[in-house]
Structure 1
Amino acid sequence: MATVEAEKEFTFAFGGSKGEKHAARGSSQQSLISALRDSSSVFAEEEKKNEGRTVQLVEREQLRGALNVGMPCRGLPEKAHLEVSFAASGGSQGRQDSAGGQECVTFTVGPAPGERPILKEPEVGVDLCVFALGEETVGEALGKDGRFLPEVCGEGWQLVERKSRQAFPLSLVAKQLPAGPFELGPEGAGAGDQAPLPGTKPGLYQLAQELDQYLKGQLGGGGPWEGAQKEFEELTGGPAPNRLPSHVAKLPMGMNEAVGTLRWNRPGNEGSASCFLLARGHVLTCHHAIKMMVGEGVPESHWGAVVSEAASISFTFRTSGETQWKVATGGLKASSPELDYVILALEVPEGRGSELRPGLASFATKPIPQGVVYTVGRQFTEALMLAPLSPEDGDDLAGRQSFQAFSGCTFSRQPRPERVPYDTEFLHDPAVSGSPVISHYGGLVGLHTGSYQYQERMVEFGTTIQAIAFHIHLSNRPLYQLLFSNNPQKKNCTIM
């Protein structure tokens, strides 16, 4: 018996969102323009009245852009509502190769301010929503869209995410893009001081701005810091909390046992940092720790040999006591100075693989906007209170790459002599940096990377696990699959 293909239902109105709504539907492979013509006599009549003019479709609530009329219906979100208008003749009639069952993804693009034109026809007043099929790159999707000038779809051009100012090459597979929206412009134009792949170590100005916004809302009798301290003590159970809530303390023992210490001892250079097992014998730690290990002036292409020779990693497993591990030759698998992380593969001698714990990747989850989290070390657990995000972030954490938080030391004003600078802005504490940050509900949400001084207070900060996973996804897809997509506790990784 032949299967009946599911249909996508949507509504549309003429002349703006307040017009009378009409219903339409089409098969998943059918183009929008075909579905409108076949399923709605109202549309067919209106199009006949505007013969010779170009149909324009805009979806403002979810896709937030002018759609390509050739987009397959399966690219529409649920309960989509389209605004239909008719423009002067000469415009694109839409991409024609939308047939087939390939995955359809969309991304929204507008021109970079002050840059060269990107469209064949005058701008429609909204961004353009582009669709890509299967493994098409961003450049391929733009080139097939029909509305963009040919010269902006290839080399020398890039997408820049409007909020984070991250730059993405047009050679990137379109389905690997974050949510957007994006600006299309020449390479190097409009991007912040980020690497081409997502990620940026937070700058002091950005972090301080967020703290300023948060502290303005504190009404403590002695000032905003006193109000923040009172909130901290109420949420964490005291000025210097040294205990965990019972439900957090009952988390799987493997979460504690996955935390380790990275040590190195080279002539004139001895040090340590925290780290933890992520998955399958791979360890996550801080980029700045590896940089301190290898020393200044060593190209990153040579780091792997130094690390495999100088580094040792130890875990305290209840079943086998202190265990020592070396980093495998060629074991530096991924890194980012902007996100301050490194992935190291351990050298696992034959017969010792069963000693390693599964790791924490199976607990990885998306960032949380505020509340209490816990930095888990080998011999300590510290409660941190997240400083709420800036108002413009709201609850949309899709592009969030960093977090900042208060600890008991924030309010005690007691110096910590073990903190050492690792660049001009941030401080490194070997006892904490490189340790996992666990949410109140037991999810792995971050990597603690350092702290910075703000008005004589020490504020902790770190990188979200989601940002690290996304960076690996773009730069080393097989490694991402190995670490985040093949965990027995998660059939499908939801970190992104």
Structure 2
Amino acid sequence: MTEREFTFAFQGSEGERQTAKGGPEQSLISALRDSSSVFSEEERKNEGKAVQLLEGEHLRGALNLGMPCKCLPENAHLEALFVGGGGGSQGREGIAEGKECTTFTVGAAPGKRPILKGPEAGVDLCVFALEGETVGEALSEDGRFLPEVGGEGWRLVERQQGRRAFPLSLAARELQAGAYELGFEGEGAGGRPNLRELAQELDEYLKGRLGGGGPWEAAQKEFEELMGGVTPNRVPSHVAKLPTAMNESVGTLRWSRLGAEGSAACFHLARGHVLTCYHAVKMMVGEGVPESEWGPAVRQAASVSFTYRTTAETQWKVASDGLKAYSAELDYAILALEAAAGQGSELRPGLAAWSTKPVGQGVVYAVGRHFADALMLVPLGPRESGDLSGRRSFQAFSSHSFSRQPRSERAPYGTEFLHDPASSGSPVFSYYGGLVGMSAGGYQYEERVVEFGPTVQAIAAHVHLNHHPLYQLLFGGGPSKKGCSVM
């Protein structure tokens, strides 16, 4: 194979494209340094910063600096940028000559643990593998991933329709030119256990929306009609026509542990117990802590606050043995509270009294402490729409769903393309005021964001099965006059 020629430009530069070339086995960074004085001069100006090379048309991600030039497609064009302050550039080393090259794109699944060491965080990576290597071996040799990535329990999940999962023991050649999310077994595609099933459900819905500009345009038109012709990101809570007491039962869970701070939403469920997301509690305790040791860590790190219209903010602590129930699959956790020293003990009414079965379609509201997000439910398939008894999760469009998200290869860009992460754990109500679910986040579907969360019915059923006395305490007292049965 003769020398491979390619072009490059510096990201954000208005200048013309530069040309570089290298031998088939020569690394990209070496080819740039040897064949382009323009690149070498720019690198000297940015001494101490790390180089990123992005290829957006074919390889769709940040390239490994050690990639052999033979792996580049014909007419490849790279964007070069210098990032960070104090880190050098790394690339794979020790390339065996004469072996065929396979490339595939890898990104972190939304909401999951970090996978990258350095300044590439927030971008997709184009990984190359040599003939005979498995996916795990290619990731391990890449040099940009954290040491624990690629070990037992990790897997890749397709970003395209179907969202099939692949073990890292698979031959890398099977993934040629594909795009995947990398995460840990058990946490599931996209950071939650059932996103593959939700994506398939969304596929079926969109297939039936063809015509008039395409399925997304048809869904947007329906969304605007249901919202009265306007699609603000958020609307004041009173527009949702919910009782004030419901809004005031929504609180903020904050934590500070080992130098890390964060927050999520929560709400008073009943009798001094709040409901929030499992992934928020996991973020609180940190990676590597067994679930059996979460209780003391949560008690030490967490506080909960509610702001009422008539009183000052009230701080609550998690009680001793306060982590009462949780499920990674449903992404929920129930915490028992106790009043902090010197604080009052008043809590607004628990929302479990308004619990009801899932809504099949239409508008629901994810209610935070100050605003409500109007969401349009993605209806179940025709064969299932009449029976909601087994519905464990809901998914819905918001106004965010109809604007395309930034493509990762144009990075670096902020990784929080979803709603404010502190909104996870917000209650979700039907138009008539029934508590039907809990907001758990969103996932990216073909550059769109779709909201999702567990139904309150599924949470109650899990508590009933695994923690029956707790179920009786929180849900078993019978509905209030305004409420209705959840099961």
* TM bin (shorter chain): 0.5 to 0.7
1:356 maps to what in 2? 347
One-letter code aligned to 1:402: S
Alpha-carbon offset, residue 247 of structure 1: 7.0
Matched, 1:489 2:472: no
- SS of 2:421's partner is coil
- Is 1:404 the counterpart of 2:398 in the alignment? no
Correspondence for 1:320 among 306, 311, 316: 311
CA distance in 1, matches of 2:441, 2:253: 16
AA at the equivalent of 2:240: V
Distance 1:379 1:418 in 2: 25
Give the residue type in structure 2 aligned to 1:243.
Answer: V
1:298 correspondence with 2:302: no
Unaligned runs of 5+ in 2: 1-184, 408-412
Instruction: Quote the residue 1:240 is aligned against.
Output: 232
Q: 1:343 to 1:458 in 2, by over 3 A?
A: same
Aligned-residue offset at 1:243: 3.2
Deviation (angstroms), 1:218: 1.7
Deviation at 1:219, TM superposition (A): 4.2
Which amino acid is 2:401 matched to?
T
Once residues 403 and 462 of structure 1 are traced to their aligned partners in structure 2, the CA distance between those partners, rounded to angstroms, is 6
Partner AA of 1:230 in structure 2: K
The corresponding residue for 1:369 is: 360
Structure 2 residue aligned with 1:464, among 418, 443, 455?
455
- 1:422-450 CA-to-partner distances (Å, cap 9, x unmatched) read xxxxx784232110001011100001111
- Report the CA distance between 1:468 and its aligned residue: 0.2
Question: Is 2:379–2:385's contact at 8 Å kept on the other side of the alignment?
Answer: no
1: CA distance, partners of 2:483 / 2:211: 45
- Cα distance change of structure 1 residues 369 and 209 upon mapping to structure 2, 3 Å threshold: same
Rg (Cα) greater in structure: 1
> Quick one: distance in 2 between partners of 1:202 and 1:235?
30
Contact 2:330–2:459 at 8 Å: present in 1 too? yes
Whether the 8 Å contact between 1:201 and 1:402 is mirrored in structure 2 is no
Identify which of 219, 229, 245 aligns with 1:228: 219
Whether the 8 Å CA contact 2:356–2:457 is kept in 1: the answer is yes
Contact 1:485 1:493 in 2 (8 A): no
With normalisation by structure 1, the TM-score equals 0.55
Report matched runs for 1:91-110 at 5 Å: none
Cα distance change on mapping 1:215 and 1:393 into 2, 3 Å? same
Task: Give the 3-state SS of the residue equivalent to 1:453 in structure 2.
Answer: strand
Asked if the contact 1:419/1:429 (under 8 Å) is kept, the reply is no
Partner of 1:336: 327
1:474 is matched by which residue type in structure 2?
Answer: L
TM-score normalised by L of structure 2:
0.56
Residues 314, 344 of structure 2: 8 Å contact kept:
no
Contact 1:363 1:442 in 2 (8 A): yes
The CA deviation string for residues 460-495 of structure 1, in whole angstroms up to 9 with x for no partner, is 010000000000001111111111122672599621
Asked whether the 8 Å contact 1:366–1:466 carries over to 2, the reply is yes
1:263·1:311 contact (CA, 8 Å) conserved in 2?
yes
* Cα separation, partners in 2 of 1:428 and 1:414, compared to 1, 3 Å: closer
The CA distance in 2 between the partners of 1:495 and 1:204, in whole Å, is: 24
Q: Does 1:442 align with 2:415?
A: no
Matches within 5 A, 1:37-436: 203-237=194-228, 238-240=230-232, 242-243=234-235, 248-249=240-241, 251-348=242-339, 355-414=346-405, 420=416, 429-436=420-427
Give the conservation status (yes or no) of the 8 Å contact 2:353–2:483.
no
Q: Structure 1 residues 321 and 350, CA, compared in 2 at 3 Å: closer, same or farther? A: closer
Q: Please list the CA deviations of residues 57-102 of structure 1 after superposition, one character each: whole Å capped at 9, or x if unmatched.
A: xxxxxxxxxxxxxxxxxxxxxxxxxxxxxxxxxxxxxxxxxxxxxx
Quick one: higher RCO (CA 8 Å, sep 6+), 1 or 2?
2
CA distance in 2, matches of 1:241, 1:429: 12
Q: CA deviation at 1:288?
A: 0.4
**Contact 1:405/1:459, CA 8 A, preserved across alignment:** yes
Q: Which runs of 5+ in 1 are unaligned?
A: 1-192, 422-426
CA distance 1:266–1:483, shift in 2 (3 Å): same
Quote the offset at 1:360 in angstroms. Answer: 0.5
- SS across alignment from 1:467: helix
What is the distance in 2 between the residues matched to 1:271 and 1:368? 31
1: CA distance, partners of 2:341 / 2:247:
25
C-alpha separation in 2, matches of 1:441 and 1:349:
35
Tell whether 2:467 aligns with 1:476.
yes
Identify if the C-alpha distance between structure 1 residues 355 and 229 changes in structure 2 by more than 3 Å, giving closer, same or farther.
Answer: same
Find the residue that maps to 2:235 and give its secondary structure.
coil
How many residue pairs match? The answer is: 294
2:423 is paired with a residue of what secondary structure?
Answer: coil
- Contact 2:354 2:483 (8 Å CA) reproduced: no
SS in 2 for 1:313: strand
Amino acid at match of 1:356: L
> Where does residue 156 of structure 2 map in the other structure?
none
Shift of 1:210: 1.2
